[in-house]
A and B are shown apart, each in its own frame.
Chain A
Amino acid sequence: MFTQFKYWKPYISPFDPCKPIKVKSYSTPPQLYMGFQPPGLPQYPTPKEALKSGTLWPQLFSPYPDPQKGGMKHE
């Protein structure tokens, strides 16, 4: 399944001074995959939703923080 965040597990040394973060993540927003934006992409139903999202097209919307990690899901 396509997700806008990718995860990886860094090496954890037995001598790390801080409590290790076992899984690290980074954002991979839609513009990395879209190429030339296809014409006629579906738009948000209302201008208010589009303004709130910062884009006219749901397919270009990138959530942050990661919704998987308890980030506020953008409606």
Chain B
Amino acid sequence: MWYYEKKLQYPVKVSTCNPTLAKYLIEQYGGADGELAAALRYMNQRYTIPDKVVGLLTDIATEEFSHLEMIATMIYKLTKDATPEMLKEAGLGEHYANHDRALFYQNAAGSPFTATYIQAKGDPIADLYEDIAAEEKARATYQWIIDLSDDTDLNDSLKFLREREVVHSQRFREAVEILKDDRDRKKFF
């Protein structure tokens, strides 16, 4: 079970009215390498991974949900006061027709979120390597969104999220080291 803290992990400030950025950020909301996919992937893999790394998956999955919340806040702020014309200009006309300004779990191209984004192979090494790849892909996605955005306040939060991907990748790499280490063998130096 979880305790909820009614605040964001890192502050989100948006200084420009730019619904186009919301369209790109949706990729991190409901895309294949987005925060929802990450959280659900780790949360699900926990059950069948060796117990030494279960806690790590729980912690990272939990943090991914707090990132999801930050992304949602960004998208909401970028679109909440945009007129239908502005949304249309930003390429969000179809979104408005279907969802008004509501958030929806979909990628930047409008494909709805699907469980096929998430793999659970059951092999601990295969699963952890997928997790490392997912973190690097999410890091890259943040880079490309930072490149597309000229909102310095928003970029500040995006740089924080990108750094967290770096740290998570580091932890998953350590998890692989733990699992491949021959712990029971006697070591002689």
Task: Give the interface SS of chain A, mostly helix, strand, loop or mixed.
Answer: loop
Find chain A residues with CB under 8 A from B161 CB.
54
User: Are A31 and B173 closer than 8 Å at their CB atoms?
Assistant: yes
User: Are B163 and A61 closer than 8 Å at their CB atoms?
Assistant: yes
Is B121 engaged at the interface, CB distance under 8 Å to the other chain? no
Is B170 engaged at the interface, CB distance under 8 Å to the other chain? yes
A34 to B163, CA, bound (A): 15
Task: Give the interface SS of chain B, mostly helix, strand, loop or mixed.
Answer: helix
A27 to B138, CA, bound (A): 13
User: Are B10 and A51 closer than 8 Å at their CB atoms?
Assistant: yes
Find chain B residues with CB under 8 A from A51 CB.
10, 160
User: Are A65 and B166 closer than 8 Å at their CB atoms?
Assistant: no
User: Are B146 and A65 closer than 8 Å at their CB atoms?
Assistant: yes
Find chain B residues with CB under 8 A from A31 CB.
166-167, 169-170, 173
User: Are B160 and A60 closer than 8 Å at their CB atoms?
Assistant: no
A37 to B139, CA, bound (A): 20
Cβ-neighbour of B147 out of A36, A65, A72 (below 8 A)? A65
Show the binding face of A for B, using Cβ within 8 Å. Answer: 27, 29-31, 34-37, 51-55, 60-62, 64-65, 72, 74
